[in-house]
Homo-oligomer: A and B are copies of this chain.
């Protein structure tokens, strides 16, 4: 067989011709004297039908099982009842690598029948299942769509360091490491670096890992995740950032619809519509609304509870028909020191959370941009200036009003797909108990 290889996703263009495919023997069923093989390659799969044992002799002779590596040449026939409407006939098989061990659980059934911990322990194999591949393909498209969206808006990509000499957002929840005998920390976010780089390129973004030593053991926390970060200069206030986030989300969902129709169908994903303008409510008004609608007085609380968020999500759907709702103006005492306060009401900030179906999805806002404001903010929180000395230099020499946000890639995917656990939206999750594979 010297024929050029055809990818499974290209076979439909060759009906009536002979093609050569390569891949994994995903399944092998026998019905009477007929053998149905499914070959999976990196992009899709194809059914190959052998009318006789002679056609599949190399597999039988080598006692090759599922996941064996094979090359199959066959005639492409249009068969309406076949998966995808095409299949291969009159086969010639070359066995590239026989596999005789059986995977720890079947990875060729419609659903994977295994507990979450088993799935994760064997992620190396689990990811070969079509549903896992679909999720990870969506994750890949998500990063790409995010980058394309911001690049068309004039943003410059930056790569900021992940090993830091100081903690970015306070000392808690940070992984410590030994850096040539000195203490160092893993970046909890690129926050201060992306702000600094606004002083260089005005609009910057980064897609990269962040590390949180949080002792959460929940379905929606990871200790290492991919953060999609944006920071933009010369804004009016946080509403500029909220409009930007809306457009980026619409681009991401548009990219899913354009490039991932088969994956979305397989996962039965019900993607939301991003309204032309996402409705917003002030934090204080949200608390008043909860009192009015649910007779629960949360006024004065510095943050919203998960129940509050669900109520607000319901309200946004009923009132605006929107899956999304911005809550803006969170109290100053609950937000980090770099958050810009509301010039009219300094006990509130120019920051926001984006709720999606009643769950927090993205946090963002306007940042302080004056050196003197930073000194005051640190002082009022009894924080030392010293660890921030280098970062503050950017503000001494001119920074425009700016702001941004960070999207947790895995959590966004989890919520868009309605996945039950964030661990299922990444390749090899890291949690309090899991460091392998």
Task: List A residues at the B interface (Cβ < 8 Å).
Answer: 5, 7, 22, 24, 41-43, 67-69, 96-97, 99, 101, 103, 121-122, 124-125, 127-128, 132-133, 136-137, 139-140, 143-144, 147, 151, 154, 156-166, 175-180, 182, 184, 186, 193, 196-197, 199-203, 208-209, 211, 213, 215, 223-224, 226, 233-234, 369-370, 390-391, 393-394, 396-401, 409, 426-430, 432, 435-437
Contact = CB atoms under 8 A, between A and B. Distances in A.
Contact of A393 (B68, B122, B165): B122
B180 A178 contact: no
A67 B202 contact: no
B234 A22 contact: yes
Given A136-B158, A159-B427, A209-B209, A200 B128 contact: yes
A144 B164 contact: no
11 contacts: A42-B201, A43-B202, A69-B400, A97-B398, A101-B397, A122-B393, A144-B147, A165-B436, A179-B435, A197-B427, A208-B208
Interface centre among A200, A426, A436 (most CB of B within 10 A): A200
Contact of A157 (B42, B143, B156): B143
A233 B42 contact: yes
Contacts of A223: 163
A244 to B, nearest CB: 15
Count copies of this chain in the complex.
Answer: 2
A175 B175 contact: no
A377 to B, nearest CB: 17
A292 to B, nearest CB: 39
A430 B180 CA distance: 12
Given A176-B178, A177-B176, A234-B5, A390 B163 contact: no
A99 B157 contact: no
Contacts of A96: 400-401
Contact of A144 (B41, B103, B151, B430): B151
Contact of A161 (B139, B166, B202, B224): B224
B136 A428 contact: no
A7 B427 contact: no
Nearest to A203: B42
B175 A179 contact: yes
Contact of A400 (B22, B158, B193): B22
A7 B203 CA distance: 12
B22 A160 contact: no
Interface centre among A132, A144, A161, A163 (most CB of B within 10 A): A161
What are the 8 A-B residue pairs with the smallest beta carbon separation, nearest first? A42-B202, A165-B435, A390-B437, A177-B177, A67-B398, A140-B157, A165-B436, A99-B398
Contacts of A164: 435-436
A193 to B, nearest CB: 7
A98 to B, nearest CB: 9
Given A43-B154, A193-B428, A180 B393 contact: no
Contacts of A215: 180
